[in-house]
């Protein structure tokens, strides 16, 4: 059956009240990437990094899924083939909206990771500097998120899905961060039709067969209705 692979970014959660990174006033306008989103930044000032992620974890816990998250969950339920959701987001709004088996390629605010042994466990609401790993007891707990220079999660699984996709959709991402920004090319190589849904054309917009511009809460439910109506 026809497989749909969907890549989502911060734009899909914007209307749930969560900040994007690169829009005006976004997270990278308020924080230096080198300080809060690199392993070197964490080594230099773990308290600053924990503070950044503790605040985002608390904020994300208050957020509710929006019509775009719900529409993708409906597509997963009603489409006769597989619908694979790969998100760059560290919030859990796809799951809260009813989606299943979401691939969090950049990790999750809900997770903790041991910087010493790689053990992963559920994060407490607030993480503190030097918290011990429950497996190896090293005082090296960090947020289980993927920073610049680190390998995103489940890349083999994702590339396999992209090679077999009939439709590839990219939703709410600026297309400035790799390897996610190159997924469209993997999908094209596998023969997929490609569509971008974003507020404005992304960095890789010209690579897509179709671009649908507008807020995700409007464009995504309309796109899902169209897909489900045409089968
Ligand atoms: C709406 C909307 C609404 C708003 N409706 N739309 C030179 C060339 C190529 C690559 C590199 C290079 N130098 C270094 C690299 C690699 C580097 C990279 O890409 N750097 C670039 C800056 C150039 N990448 C890495 O290091 C990655 N690892 C890696 O490459 O490993 C090696 C490897 C090799 C081969 C294969 C595989 C791997 C790791 C990247 C980790 C990124 N981490 C972050 C932080 C995660 C934790 C956290 O959340 O804090 O991930 S950075 C940040 O950016 C976060 C996001 O997931 C990611 C993408 O951002 P996103 O989602 O696109 O958000 P925005 O804000 O950029 O865009 C939002 C969009 O929504 C906008 O377009 C708006 O218009 C739109 N929007 N409201 C619809 N209502």
Residue 154: which of 186, 180, 193 has the closest Cα?
Answer: 180
Pick from 11, 17, 181 the residue to mutate for probing ligand 1's pocket: most ligand atoms within 8 Å of its CB: 11
The protein residue whose alpha carbon is closest to atom 2 in ligand 1 is 11
For residue range 113-153, list pLDDT tens digits in order: 999 999 999 999 999 999 999 999 999 999 999 999 999 99
Q: Cis omega before residue 179 (within 30°)?
A: yes
Distance 75 CA to ligand 1 centre (A): 25
Query: Would you say residue 205 lies in a domain?
Result: yes
Q: Is residue 167 part of a domain?
A: yes
Assigned domain for 4 exists: yes
The pLDDT, as a whole number, for residue 14 is 98
Q: How many domains does the chain have?
A: 1
84: in domain? yes
pLDDT in tens, 182-206: 999 999 999 999 999 999 999 999 9
Q: Which atom of ligand 1 is nearest to the CA of 37?
A: 45
Q: Answer yes or no: are the C-beta atoms of 67 and 217 closer than 8 Å.
A: yes
Task: State if residue 146 touches ligand 1 by the CB under 6 angstroms criterion.
Answer: yes
Residue 141: strand, helix, or coil: strand
What percent of the chain shows pLDDT beyond 70? Answer: 99
Contacts of 228 (CB under 8 A, 6+ apart): 74, 75, 78, 79
The single residue listed with the structure tokens 């503790």 is: 54
Six token digits for residue 230: 């045409």
Query: Is 166 within the bounds of a domain?
Result: yes
**CATH number of the domain encompassing residue 164:** 3.40.50.1220
Residue 230, pLDDT above cutoff 80: no
* Residue 124, in any domain of the structure: no
Task: Give the distance (Å) from ligand 1 centre to CA of residue 137.
Answer: 32
**CA separation for the pair 17, 201 (Å, rounded):** 21
Altogether, the residues listed in the chain come to a count of 231
For residue 29, what are the contacts with CB-CB under 8 A and spacing of at least 6?
Answer: none
Could you tell me if 148 and 179 are in contact, meaning their C-beta atoms sit under 8 angstroms apart?
no
The Cα diameter of the chain in Å comes to 55
Four-residue CA torsion sign, 221, 196, 213, 56: positive
pLDDT at 20: 97
Average pLDDT of 83-107?
Answer: 98
For residue 134, give the 3-state DSSP assignment: coil
As a whole number of angstroms, the distance between CA 62 and CA 210 comes to: 34
Q: Write down the pTM of the prediction.
A: 0.97
Whether residue 38 is contained in a domain is answered as no
Measured in Å, residue 106 CA sits from the centre of ligand 1 at 9
37-79 pLDDT, tens digit each? 999 999 999 999 999 999 999 999 999 999 999 999 999 999 9
Q: Give SS3 for 228.
A: helix
**CA distance to 18, 79, 174, per residue, from 177 (Å):** 19, 29, 8
Range(s) of the domain holding residue 3: 1-17+65-106+152-231
- Do the beta carbons of residue 124 and residue 154 sit within 8 Å? no
For residue 115, is it within any domain?
no
Does the pLDDT of residue 231 top 70, yes or no?
Answer: no
């Amino acid at each position: 059956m026809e497989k749909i692979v969907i890549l989502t970014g911060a734009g899909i959660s914007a209307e749930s009240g969560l900040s994007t990174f690169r829009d005006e006033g976004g997270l990278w306008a308020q924080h230096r990437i080198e300080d809060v989103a690199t392993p070197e930044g964490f080594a230099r000032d773990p308290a600053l990094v924990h503070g950044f992620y503790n605040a985002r974890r608390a904020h994300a816990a208050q957020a509710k899924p929006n019509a775009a998250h719900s529409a993708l969950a409906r597509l997963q339920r009603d489409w006769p083939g597989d619908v694979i959701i790969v998100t760059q987001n560290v919030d859990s709004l796809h799951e809260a909206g009813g989606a299943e088996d979401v691939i969090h390629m950049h990790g999750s605010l809900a997770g903790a990771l041991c910087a010493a042994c790689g053990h992963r466990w559920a994060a407490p609401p607030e993480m503190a500097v030097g918290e011990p790993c429950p497996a190896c007891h090293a005082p090296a707990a960090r947020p289980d998120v993927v920073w610049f220079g680190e390998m995103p999660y489940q890349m083999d699984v994702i590339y396999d899905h992209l090679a077999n996709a009939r439709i590839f959709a990219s939703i709410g991402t600026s297309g400035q961060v790799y390897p996610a920004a190159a997924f469209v090319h993997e999908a094209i190589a596998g023969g997929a039709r490609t569509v971008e849904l974003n507020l404005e054309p992304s960095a890789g917009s010209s690579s897509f067969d179709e671009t649908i511009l507008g807020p995700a809460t409007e464009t995504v439910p309309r796109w899902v209705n169209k897909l489900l109506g045409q089968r």
